[in-house]
Structure 1
Amino acid sequence: MTRQKHIHVNAFNMNCVGHIHHGLWTHPRDRSTEYNTLKYWTDIARTLEKGLFDGLFIADVIGYYDVYQHAQRHGVDLTLREAIQLPVNNPWLIISAMAAVTEHLGFGVTATISAHNPYTFARDVSTLDQLTNGRIGWNIVTGYVDSGARGLGQEGLDEHDRRYDRADDFLALAYKLWEGSWEDGAVIADKARRIHALPEKVHPVVHNGPFYRANAIHMSAPSPQRTPLLFQAGTSSRGLQFAGQHAEGIFIGATTPEAAREASRKLRQAAVDAGRRPEDIKIYAGMAVVTGDTQAQAQEKYAEYLQHASAEGGLAHFAASTGVDFAQYDLDEPIPFGKSNAIQSAAAAAQAQGWTTRRKLLEQFKLGSRYNTVVGDANHVADELTRWIDEGEIDGFNLTRIVVPETWEDFANTVVPELQNRGRYRTAYEPGGFRHKLFGQGDRLPANHVGAQWRDALAHKAGQAAASVQADTKGGPAHPLTTKPIAV
């Protein structure tokens, strides 16, 4: 008998007041306005680890949403009143506190390519991977709002596919730093001999890419995973290509299991096209869950939540995702979705679902977002989640917050035991880092991943260069770090 696969679950959050379900911060039991306190985050981390969640997936955006009602004070009034991901704080600075109160919980943290330099970013990631003992993941984002580009001193966003070209080059340099600059065994910390690192095992990287250049040694010693677990969201044609080559965890926005299956098959084929295996990626769908001890109790809670939701807040968020100012259209006026420089898959999904008027969109956002919502007791929720996994051919869910921390406490206390009884959810954490917990094959990138090619390449080239110099000097000593750097 084939063993049924476990359902993977990340809590989906953001370092802000309003994340996905807009307006719910006004609920009397919600703690989202405490987002700028450490206790808020450490309490969440403890709850998630108790519920055996894979990780906390933290979204981020560089910029703010100013597309909806753009003619009115540059489109920020509603964003500010409803706290639509504004204000938003840095997600990376809260990880150490949560890691200190947990042992197993992973952290998938978003960073936008255009807001970072790969040389310093590689050090930031290595530092956190060391401090968390290998529990760091990076959600790779190319950016999608013009306001962020303007804040970074640009006229506006680069063209959609060019942003992915930049991301490819960013990762090429980051891989070399993480995987190749320091060999395994470079750090010996030998106090008696006064040798912390062996110079012959540390190699400079010379990178001359279309967007980034570097000539330096990675500043950090190797971390448990070296390269963080790599997440990505984006199913445009260019996004598929990028995901197939780089991503290990992929976040999709599907409205039905059938849509999830279609997206999953495309993504797994993209991985195969890149020389990987279909099972080398884990696919997560966004999902909201409202549960209780009985079906009636869950429905009552859902009705209560609806009273606090802001459908217009959800519409304003979606406007930024598609690049379309829906406020300019009457309620029943057809909305023409053209090619977008924002999130192309968001506009495509709206068209595919027939959300082509403002009235239809507002109906979709009645809980403040367009995410699928499952309402019911533990048995009903477990039925629906397993149906999505089995029919949609996905691996898990990014579980959105509706009311914090109630959403995740309810899931951990009500749904998790039911899934465990069915053999569909872990009953204990496996040892190891974030990557090993998901794939069970160690903390390091698998050999068939594009980043793994740099694992021994720099050491090999340095050895060749040293041998060449030694031959030129007729057997004289040659220090690897005093020879000409190796361009790779």
Structure 2
Amino acid sequence: MTKPIAINAFSMNTISHLSPGTWRHPRDEGRRYVDLDYWMEVARTLERGKIDVLFLADVLGVYDVYGGSPAAAIRGGVQFPLNDPLALIPAMASVTEHLGFAMTAAVSYEHPFPFARRMSTLDHLTKGRVGWNVVTGYLNSGAVNFGVSGQEAHDRRYDIAEEYLEVCYKLWERSWEDDARSADAAGDVVADPARVHPIAHRGEFFQVPGIHLSEPSPQRTPVIYQAGASARGVRFAAAHGEGVFVAAQTKAALARQVRGLREALAAAGRPTDSAKVLNQQTVIVAETDAEAHRLFEEYLLYASTEGALTLLSGWTGIDFAELGMESTFEDQEGNAIQSVIQAFSSADPGRSWSIREIAEHVRIGGDGPVLVGSPTTVADQLESWVDETDVDGFNLAAAVVPEAWTQIVDLLVPELQKRGRHKVDYEPGTLREKLGGGARVAPWHPAARVRI
């Protein structure tokens, strides 16, 4: 039986996401990111293609590592200006019925009590179509604006995240019993006080004694995604992740990551297929291979090398402005996204990437691979990545928007459907159910273990 391929659209509420400079392309509409009509058009297009999830990235901070200044990010629109992804979701949900929405939110600077309420509100408004990509933050520029001197150490941030999730799980799963809300007009009872419980949480980082302000939403706990590929991140994903987002450069590197994640799931007492692993890819697809490659070359005319280095500096915590373009990128320690450093260091064992090579690679599609070709060619490539690595699917980023989404929906999806590798219709129910799970988190999940 052929394995179905999960497909997410990967985007961000900003002018340029992972292909810096391409906002200048005459057909790119990234400048409309402040226009709600634009996002609703994108959502309708993605649902037409039976895309699983619109996955919205986010950062709290500006990319200011490159050259020791935010100037390059500000000048080049490198994930800047950047608006809140959460505000987009209710509007997009209002014009769709099935498309899921996963938003990135960091645990580093916001207390879990109000955040849990916002996620419950979103889950209600979308009728259970929300996921949360749990991140710990990686930009010092964000940390200092919350009144702290800088980022906590990498692994310490995950310790905070563990307790943050524990608080959220207690609020979502423990505070309200299933039958607490009755809305009994005759009895003059909205909710039964005996069935609404304080969570009485006292931990190292958070003190939350009281009750959840929101009644239980369709999923209670949103679908949990995790994007860490460091050793600590993998352990965190193995405990909490229902979906795991990676960015491997090669099939060999991806196969190693998927195998490691499956082993970590087993070690955590979970089924090895209980988390969908999604690799970041960018696809440029056209009617023919020649046309697709022409488009790729056209996009490169607008792509920014400085923008790529600005992204890389922010992701790794290494100032690439201080390194010569022909110097090599060796395995280094950083306090930002360690998996980015490891991805380039281990993509081709024995190869040393020059800074120039990395910048040229990153300027279209960021730190993930780029596939270019006709629907047949790209579908062949995606199938081979799935079949050779055991990955479950892809977060597909866009070089030029919304052109890329239209290419994927109108050209690539029908080819995958013809091969039986992509669904022809959505499953009913919540996002978790559409992705193959139950209405609520599985028994192995930490959220299930806090229930009364």
Query: Which position in structure 1 is the counterpart of 2:149?
Result: 155
- CA shift, 1:333, in A, is 2.7
Structure 1 residue aligned with 2:270, among 248, 269, 276? Answer: 276
**Misfit runs of 4+, over 3 Å:** 334-337, 353-356
**Structure 2 vs 1, CA of residues 150 and 392 (structure 1 numbering), >3 Å: closer, same or farther?**
same
Query: Which position in structure 1 is the counterpart of 2:429?
Result: 432
Structure 2 residue 291 is the aligned partner of structure 1 residue 291: no
**What does the per-residue CA deviation read over 1:147-201, in whole Å, with 9 as the maximum and x for residues that have no partner?**
0000111100000000000000000111011001101111111111111112221
- CA shift, 1:235, in A, is 1.1
Structure 1: distance between partners of 2:115 and 2:367: 33
Structure 2 residue 105 is the aligned partner of structure 1 residue 111: yes
- Output the amino acid matched with 1:120: P
Q: Secondary structure at the match of 2:67?
A: coil
Q: Tell me the TM-score normalised to structure 2 length.
A: 0.97
Q: How does 1:17-416 map to 2 (within 5 A)?
A: 17-70=15-68, 75-335=69-329, 337-353=331-347, 354=351, 356-367=353-364, 369-416=366-413
Query: Is the Cα contact below 8 Å between 1:183 and 1:201 reproduced in 2?
Result: yes
**What does the per-residue CA deviation read over 1:23-57, in whole Å, with 9 as the maximum and x for residues that have no partner?**
11111111101101101110110000001000100
- Output the amino acid matched with 1:405: P
Structure 2: distance between partners of 1:272 and 1:84: 39
Query: Which position in structure 1 is the counterpart of 2:442?
Result: 446
Structure 2: distance between partners of 1:368 and 1:190: 54
Query: Is the Cα contact below 8 Å between 2:340 and 2:367 reproduced in 1?
Result: no
Query: Which position in structure 2 is the counterpart of 1:4?
Result: 2
Query: Is the Cα contact below 8 Å between 2:278 and 2:392 reproduced in 1?
Result: yes
Deviates more, 1:373-382 or 1:342-351: 342-351
Q: How does 1:436-475 map to 2 (within 5 A)?
A: 436-439=433-436, 441-456=437-452
- Output the amino acid matched with 2:15: V
**What does the per-residue CA deviation read over 1:255-303, in whole Å, with 9 as the maximum and x for residues that have no partner?**
1122111101111221222221111100000111111111111111111
Query: Is the Cα contact below 8 Å between 1:314 and 1:368 reproduced in 2?
Result: no
**What does the per-residue CA deviation read over 1:399-438, in whole Å, with 9 as the maximum and x for residues that have no partner?**
1011111101111100111111110000001101111111
Query: Is the Cα contact below 8 Å between 1:207 and 1:215 reproduced in 2?
Result: yes
**Structure 2 vs 1, CA of residues 356 and 372 (structure 1 numbering), >3 Å: closer, same or farther?**
closer
Structure 2: distance between partners of 1:370 and 1:191: 56
Structure 2: distance between partners of 1:13 and 1:269: 30
The CA RMSD measured in Å over matched residues stands at 1.2
Query: Which position in structure 2 is the counterpart of 1:461?
Result: none
- CA shift, 1:359, in A, is 2.0
Structure 2: distance between partners of 1:67 and 1:237: 24
Structure 2 residue aligned with 1:417, among 414, 417, 424? Answer: 414
Aligned length in residues: 449
Structure 2 residue aligned with 1:16, among 14, 17, 27? Answer: 14
- CA shift, 1:335, in A, is 4.5
**What does the per-residue CA deviation read over 1:45-93, in whole Å, with 9 as the maximum and x for residues that have no partner?**
00000010001000000111111111xxxx2111111100111011101
Structure 2: distance between partners of 1:276 and 1:107: 25
- CA shift, 1:363, in A, is 2.8
- CA shift, 1:366, in A, is 4.5
- CA shift, 1:202, in A, is 1.0
Query: Which position in structure 2 is the counterpart of 1:472?
Result: none
- Output the amino acid matched with 1:176: K
- CA shift, 1:345, in A, is 1.3
Query: Is the Cα contact below 8 Å between 2:49 and 2:413 reproduced in 1?
Result: yes
Deviates more, 1:59-68 or 1:309-318: 309-318
Query: Is the Cα contact below 8 Å between 1:138 and 1:231 reproduced in 2?
Result: yes
Q: Secondary structure at the match of 1:267?
A: helix
Structure 2: distance between partners of 1:145 and 1:236: 17
Structure 2: distance between partners of 1:222 and 1:363: 48
**What does the per-residue CA deviation read over 1:232-251, in whole Å, with 9 as the maximum and x for residues that have no partner?**
11111110110000011111
- CA shift, 1:336, in A, is 5.1
Structure 2: distance between partners of 1:403 and 1:338: 32
Indicate the percent of aligned positions where both proteins have the same amino acid: 46
Query: Is the Cα contact below 8 Å between 1:18 and 1:82 reproduced in 2?
Result: no
